[in-house]
Structure 1
Amino acid sequence: MSEKHLVCQGAVCKCNFGTTPDKLKVNTQSRRYINDKDGKQKLTATHVDIGSTFEKNTFGSCSKKNNTPCTAVVTQWSGYYDKIIIEDNGGMVLLEDSKATCPIGGTDCITIINHGQIAELGPKNMEKADQDIMKELCPILTEPEKPQHSLTFNTR
């Protein structure tokens, strides 16, 4: 799999023949989330997410249809990861370089331009972070150093 991100609901896709991107919507399962600490928004996308599987179901004007409105339809996905299968729908997870086929645009005309995952900083990240690097990158997040008092004793 070599450092490729898995795709989730909200991934931004584009068609080679369209004028605007659209966001992927997972319709085939409702229980398997990634990159979502609350488990409410980022459903894992799979190769069985076909048909009208975008939020607006359009990529704007379609140059293959003389710039008339696009009606986005996915007939199949390629480049998915076959080592992870979602039990709920039997689908194999999509990767950020997966491509979709549309009956108008043809094979692999739809690409993923953003996988949909968002980095969220949490307490575990801070525990594992190199403290010297964190001080340089974001000095406001580091704990203030405790003042060192020197004690002097009067010995009279």
Structure 2
Amino acid sequence: MNSTQQTQNKMSEKHLVCQGATCKCKFGTVPDKLMVKTQTKRYINDKEGKKKLTATHKDIGKTFEKNTFGNCAKMNNNPCQAVVTEWTGFYDKIVIEDNKGKVLLEDSKATCPIGGKDCIDIINHGQKSEVTTGNFKNANPEVLVEACPFIDFTEVSDNMEMEEEKADYI
């Protein structure tokens, strides 16, 4: 296997990071949520395309919801002032056209001028599973019954379809 294939295999096992990802500084006391402020068009894991903007290495500065990780051990437990000066460990094979940013991966790390290089970790990438009628239509019925024998998936699927039709109509 050549190095390009190894890199692609390594990346395929990781999640891309999106708005709402939970981050934590190793010197802080609480996590904070990542806010994507460098682009407004490229969404992932978001059926409606309204919440989960793709995060990139260009998301620097005060790019968190509260801009604090609680008390900072590097500042004698005074309040943290979270600021990202750079990201490392991003995936350079995917570039967001709008900001020329390279997408962040769940193991990317951020640098803060107080905490130092790679002191901020991503502890949750921000993506969430959403069950849709398409999931039920594409699922093998025998597998669903084996996994959850007490649920009538035909009824669940029908109800989901009715809700989707109602939402489309409104």
Same fold (TM over 0.5): yes
Residues 2-59 of structure 1: per-residue CA shift (max 9 Å, x gap): 3200000000000000000000000000111001111110000000000000000000
Counterpart pick for 1:4 among 2, 5, 14? 14
Please tell me whether residue 87 in structure 1 is matched to residue 97 in structure 2: yes
TM-score, normalisation: structure 2: 0.82
TM-score, normalisation: structure 1: 0.89
Matches of 1:8 and 1:141, distance apart in 2: 34
Matches of 1:103 and 1:4, distance apart in 2: 27
Q: Which residue type is aligned with residue 98 of structure 2?
A: D
Counterpart pick for 1:67 among 61, 68, 77? 77
Matches of 1:98 and 1:141, distance apart in 2: 41
**Percentage identity across aligned positions?**
69
Q: Secondary structure at the match of 1:135?
A: helix
Q: Secondary structure at the match of 1:46?
A: coil
Matches of 2:58 and 2:22, distance apart in 1: 18
Q: Which residue type is aligned with residue 59 of structure 2?
A: D
Question: Cα offset for 1:127?
Answer: 2.1
Q: Which residue type is aligned with residue 140 of structure 1?
A: I
Question: Cα offset for 1:131?
Answer: 1.7
**Bigger helix share:** 2
Note closer, same or farther for the CA distance 1:32–1:19 as it changes in structure 2 (3 Å cut).
Answer: same
Q: Runs (4+) of structure 1 moved beyond 4 Å?
A: none
Find the counterpart in structure 2 of residue 142 from structure 1: 153
Question: Cα offset for 1:132?
Answer: 1.8
Find the counterpart in structure 2 of residue 104 from structure 1: 114
Matches of 1:38 and 1:32, distance apart in 2: 12
Note closer, same or farther for the CA distance 1:112–1:141 as it changes in structure 2 (3 Å cut).
Answer: farther
Matches of 1:8 and 1:98, distance apart in 2: 12
Q: Secondary structure at the match of 2:37?
A: coil
Find the counterpart in structure 2 of residue 115 from structure 1: 125
Matches of 1:72 and 1:6, distance apart in 2: 22
Question: Cα offset for 1:123?
Answer: 1.7
Unaligned stretches of 5+ residues in structure 2: 1-10, 156-170
Q: How much is the aligned-residue C-alpha RMSD, in angstroms?
A: 1.1
Unaligned stretches of 5+ residues in structure 1: 145-156
